[in-house]
Amino acid sequence: MESITKNRQSPATLRAMIARAYGADQVPHEQSKDWVSELGHGWFNVAYRIRLRDGRQVVLKIAPPPHVEVMTYEHGAMAIELAALELIGKHTGVPVPALDYADRSHELCDADYFFMPYIDADNLGIVKDTLPPDELDAYNEALGAVTHELNSIRGQAFGPLAGPGDPSWRACFSRMIGDVLRDGERRAVDLGYDYSLIRDIITAHGDCLDEVTEPRFVEWDLWDSNVMVRDGRIVCVIDHERAFYGDPLIEAGFTATDLNAFGDPSAFIRGYGHAEFSDNERRRRRVYTLYLILIMIIETNYRGHADTRQYDWARDRLHEVMALFGKDPS
């Protein structure tokens, strides 16, 4: 996917990065062909698939350049991912990439980067339309179980993995969605609704957030496009830069309980093991879906998308979410 946040580097810089991470003897020969290719499926960071001199394949992930403005919640995203990988590896059995090397010195390029082994598997988001329904259901059920295991990690406060956090989920989430709205206002992004109306909705439903009292690790961005599968099982979960401590009910897999456009959530919920939603949980879910759709609209401006399909699609979803709150377009 094309985005102005992708921090592409020259072959010479990539070679210098390889030398620093793996040693000069692993830098591909000058005459070597096809030693590097860009993995174009992501929206935010640039990622390269690289073949080292000994034949090993690795992935290099580079954070956005500092001169490109990103949304508030995306600041320090690569540091969040590194912290998430450490937490997941220490506290769960969820398969995530190994970290080969990370460099935050900005000596070779103007942003953080890290190397990890290449995962030889299929991206579920890419292949799902080719799978038999029962196989896709099995993967979604497994994804629910994986998400539940990730949510078993407990935090000390709500918010960033590295802190400082908020003592209450209501304070934390109000800050999070407030940041998103300010990001939209700063770029004058047209939502089709007054920003003040969105704020009024959040205030009116803030009490339902008080039910959440224990900070849990939330992956949040765990869509099928961040799941690698092979031979009927999930072999790796990738892209952890949006993790935080919060309410597990905000996880991506639950979004379809509010909006049909996100598919059938039954297999995910079965794998997660969640019982029927209470009234308060349904209210929280609607607020979380509102948060997600606002990001999907506003980020198109920050990504510099010339193609308006995501913006148009997300605007349609916002109408559906607002209808859940009994609101019509302004």
pLDDT band at residue 218 under the 50/70/90 scheme: very high
The answer to whether 91 touches 153, Cβ cutoff 8 Å, is yes
The radius of gyration computed from the CA coordinates of the chain, to the nearest angstrom, equals 20
Under the banding of pLDDT at 50, 70 and 90, the label for residue 327 is confident
pLDDT at 42: 64
Give the total residue count for the chain: 330
pLDDT in tens, 115-141: 999 999 999 999 999 999 999 999 999
pLDDT confidence of residue 306: 77
The residue behind tokens 């406060």 is: 157
| Whole-number average pLDDT of the chain | 94
Query: Is the Cβ–Cβ distance between 259 and 320 less than 8 Å?
Result: yes
- 158-204, pLDDT tens digit by residue? 999 987 899 999 999 999 999 999 999 999 999 999 999 999 999 99
Would residue 232 be called left, alpha or beta, if left means φ above 0 and alpha means ψ between -120 and 50 degrees?
left
The answer, yes or no, to whether residue 1 has pLDDT greater than 60, is no
Closest by CA position to 100, among listed 118, 121, 112: 118
| CB-based contact 74:239 (threshold 8 Å) | no
What is the predicted pLDDT for the residue at 29? 86
Which residues contact residue 211 at a Cβ distance below 8 angstroms, ignoring those fewer than 6 apart? Answer: 280, 284
Residue 32: predicted pLDDT: 80
Quote the pLDDT of residue 151: 98
CA end-to-end span of the chain: 32
The DSSP annotation for 207-271 comes to GGGGG--S-EEE-----GGGEEEETTEEEEE---TT-EEE-GGGSGGGGGGT-GGG---HHHHHH
E-strand ranges in 23-165 read 36-39, 46-51, 57-62, 101-103, 113-117, 122-123
The burial class, CB within 10 Å (0-12 / 13-18 / 19+), for 99 is middle
